[in-house]
Amino acid sequence: MAVRIAGLHDVQAAAAVVHGHLSPAPLIRSYALERELGLPTGRRVWIKDYGWTPVGSFKVLGALNWVARNLDRIGDRPIAAHSSGNFASGIAFAGRTFGKRVIIVMPDTAPQVKFALTRSFGAEVRTYDIARDHETGERDRLTRTIAEQENAIQASPYDDADVIAGNGVGGLEIVEELTRQGRAVSHLFCQVSGGGLMAGHALAIGSAFPEAEIVGVEPEGADDFRRSMAAGERVRLDHPSSICDGLLSYDVGEHNWPILRRYVKSAVAISDRDTRRAMRWLDDVHGLRTEPSGAIATAAALARRADLDGEGDVVVVLSGRNVDGRQFREWTSDL
């Protein structure tokens, strides 16, 4: 079957769906980050904070668009999906919005806040042993078994054109707000895992600001996209590892890769220690308690992992804030 690659027109169409249910996530000017980066007067730094969505992450955007675009195919059947946690609550929210039953496969080590959010929207949760999944393939097998036994429609958390387009609505919001203010983008720092967030944002930002440097950000122990860029083809990691539980996909999706290759100009790998420092910085300076996956793009900016020379504003994506309080305190102490 031919792979359908999402385009800007799909993102624009998804905006009508997403904004029918959600207000835009805030785009916040960070005066503190401007000072940290030593930007000249006239250039600004913006944080796109998806922690303000009803599920605490960007994942609800793609989930809403996917369910809306697949209503006829779903019919009375349930939706099955696997997720490290944020797509779980996103698709659960979308399922409740459209009156669909949702069954989610999550790792046994997922933060409790992600389990609680997912169940709060009515989804059923089943778990697997993530420590051995690279050997057993239990996650995918369990999801397929649920789809077969329950006659469910299976949703991908990132490798799907409708999910990419929905996620891109956030990028479109960035474009529309900065264009309204008469501003341009010189750099976008955005997380890459399976590629659903980055592909959607790259479509919007890259189309509106073709000179912008779009920087993909990954953990050092899960840098399959950086390796893929170097190799010129998708590279799979057998056992990705990091405290960034939302960025541990084995490889970028088939639907995502062509978009990433076209728009993303560089990729950087960030240590977990730098991510922890960024989590603490965001909390100390902005009062934002973030999950590691959410803070890693800020970590890349703080560590100056891109040449910020040029004209235009810098945009940093804060992809999610779902972290258990005790774990957050452990990660942000002793630095």
pLDDT digits (tens, 9 = 90+) for 269-280: 999 999 999 999
Q: What is the pTM of this model?
A: 0.96
Looking at this protein, which amino acid is placed at residue 256?
Answer: N
Res 1: pLDDT: 57
Which pair of structure tokens corresponds to residue 104? 């989610």
Beta bridge partners of 28: 47
pLDDT digits (tens, 9 = 90+) for 284-308: 999 999 999 999 999 999 999 999 9
Res 154: pLDDT: 96
Res 2: pLDDT: 72
Which pair of structure tokens corresponds to residue 174? 């960035």
Average pLDDT value for the chain: 97
Beta bridge partners of 314: 45, 187
Reported confidence tier of residue 73, pLDDT bands at 50, 70, 90: very high
Closest CA to 59 of 30, 95, 16, 28: 95
Q: Which residues contact 2 (CB under 8 A, 6 or more apart)?
A: none
